[in-house]
Structure 1
Amino acid sequence: MRGLTGWLNFVVNVILLFLGLLPGMVYAQQNKTLTLEQAQELARQNYPVTQQFELLRQTEQYSLENLSKGFLPQFTLVGQATYQSDVTIVPVDVPSIEIPAPAKDQYRINANVSQLLYDGGQIRQQKKVEQLNTIVENQRVEVELHKLRDRINQLYLGTLLLDEQLKQVDLVQQDLETGLRKVEAQVKNGVSFKSNLYLLQAELLNNEQRRAELQASRRATLQTLGLFLGEPLSEGVVLATPAAAEINGNVEIQRPELKLYTSQQTLLEQLNRLLYARNLPRTSLFGESGYGRPGLNFLQNTPDWWYIGGIRVSWPLGNFYTYRNDRKLIDVSQQQTEVQRETFLLNTNAELTQQRAEVDKLKEMLEADREIVALREKVKLAANSQLENGVITANDYLREVYAEDQARQQLILHQLQLLQAQINYKTVLGY
């Protein structure tokens, strides 16, 4: 029975271990293909500036806790000892009555306590200021993270361009090997010069150099992208081609900069309310007790305990001297924020117009590119046949191979440029 129980425990542990490893296995499988959205999300999580969200949250929490303590009783302990050159003496000589003069050396120690009852709403308004200030700072972080999206787009699309160029290198490799086999047969049959064979062999080596250069550039780009993502990317990673974004001129701009300007305006409005609250009267209870010489009865020249308590109303009228100018300063800041917002919208709309024009231009160029590639492919196929029949030389054949290669390179470049322009349009919009 014990053997059966042990065997069952072993099976359960193996199953649990497998289930624990399964997410990692699935993740590893998923990691073989990387999408642009995944790259942007990983970069956002790994970017150091993201840590500021938690730091700002903690700052707000501590600030609000400190402000809340403004309604706690406030204690003060004061002690003093003095010697004065003169004291108050009653200048009346009454027979049989002696009025003692206070001592010139006096001392006291006393404790004060005050409890705020009403502060004009200053603490409440200050709390709102702290909360809105956190929102503003969070939006500043979002602006920085939005700039990161553009950097990730460039690295990601740059890698895609290198991938397409490597595919084109493979096509050229196939054309060169095809020509090489035919020239080898011609040389063997004595109908072609060995110089044609050497020429094609040299071009094969050049093509291999080109492949090595592109692969090195791809490795460097992936390493840089991996630094932003917080994890190394192997050369075997496959970058999925993003879907083409539709260009719609009626879509509203959703950039974090606009939210930043809005939150700044809200903060300035709250500062106005705080400014008003600071000029209202404050009411508090207070109490004071102590021991010293003299006590409250200054004619008694012996140490004594004493206390005093009551309610206090204070009104800082001096703040009214600068109240109007403080309001004007806030108004100026609001106007500056609005000017920044309008300037940003102008520049953003100009950039969107430029991106739309770029998309339209590239679409037209792609139509011509496809026609050119189709024609160049026909010319290359004809040259292939002519090379086989000994009508043209290897040099003539290479010229047509590279002419098609150049046409395909232009097609690849314009396709990636179009995709980049469409993605940039979305990024400029804030999506």
Structure 2
Amino acid sequence: MSLDRFPSLPEVHRSISIPDGRGFWRKLLAYAGPGYLVSVGYIDPGNWATDIAGGSQFGYTLLSAILMSNLMAVLLQSLCVRLGVATGKDLAQVCRNYFSPHISFILWVLCEIAIVACDLAELLGSAIALKLLFGMPLFWGVCITALDVLALLFLQSKGFRYVEALVFVLVTTVGLCYGAEILFSRPELGSILQGYLPNREILRNPEMLYIAIGILGATVMPHNLYLHSSIVQTRAWQPTPQKKWEAIEFGTLDSTIALSFALFINSAILIVAAATFHQAGYHEVAEIQDAYKLLSPLLGVSAASTIFGVALLASGQSSTLTATLAGQIVMEGFLRFRLPPWLRRLATRLLAIIPALIAIVFFGEQSTGRLLVFSQVVLSLQLSFAVVPLVMFTSDRQLMGEFVNPKWLKVVAWAIAAIIIALNAWLILQTVIGWLFA
């Protein structure tokens, strides 16, 4: 049976109309939305853990890792737009068509592992925020956060624009909160600019490299590539070459703007940690809870910790929406198997709840920071298995036709894939050496 009879996210597929007029701003507004859903994955609680750890231990040095990761993300997400618009299929569907059933199944399993790791970070982040703001024990916060599936189901029943609007409000809330935190922390501009420059010390220092790859995993998320190639198809552009090029142009612009905002938030988290904790000699702040407790006393601003908690809660709640959609997309695309959305969400959450509750019960609440960073490294290790097929498919003229990657884009895209593979191989080597000589 033709894959065309299995549209990606069928309940919202091509549900948002595009104006016929030529007004730039009207069209940009019509196409705006998917980029912000994707950007959520770049500012989720997993990013907070890696950015806070990196800023407190190494000052501004790892800003270069954030910048490099974000530039990679902009290009990779643009390839997702190109694939989704040109083929009318998402990345999971194309993988199923192109690869053997065994390879497709392995890719699906790896992607599910990445989604669970991502969901674990979001679950812990929201639970931590509830504890910090309202004193709720982490155990119960984890359990209550698992019920947020109801919010997504309600919004999706009203229309996909409602999902996009909520995510936009939550992302904006995080940005405004961290804009205030930067003003409170008064960082050094010269040190910030220097931090964005590449530093060889990152490759020589195993601890720094571990966090840098965690930042990469927290920024460029494998499930986001599947998600983006699907949700661009919620727009009802005309299926002509001219309109497809227009959809690629505006879809790429949407994601680039949204990811630039995510770059600001990601950088701000590390900058505040560097200016507040590293400068004051607190080099071991890796737990979000510790950051919350120290912010107000160190900055001398009583509202600083509360603003931090509000931003964390907004981040966790926005992130949880996209993991649900990504899980639905990869299951339907790879397996052509649909579960009711509430059951799919509940299954994903249960898989994330188990390691979270085990860590809290047996290792104490102080273990959550290490678990968050570890989840982001797991995401990074899965990344190659999504990036390589994406670059391969968008470089295939038989599949893409006139929308195939030009030669310069092929070179850059494959270079990014090689960098990701090399960094992950280096991390594994350093980890094994550390175990052998520990």
- Scaled to the shorter chain, the TM-score interval is under 0.3
Instruction: Decide which structure has greater strand share.
Output: 1
Determine which structure has greater relative contact order: mean sequence separation of CA pairs < 8 Å that are 6+ residues apart, divided by chain length.
2
TM-score (structure 1 length as normaliser): 0.23
Structure with greater Cα Rg: 1
Instruction: Decide which structure has greater helix share.
Output: 2
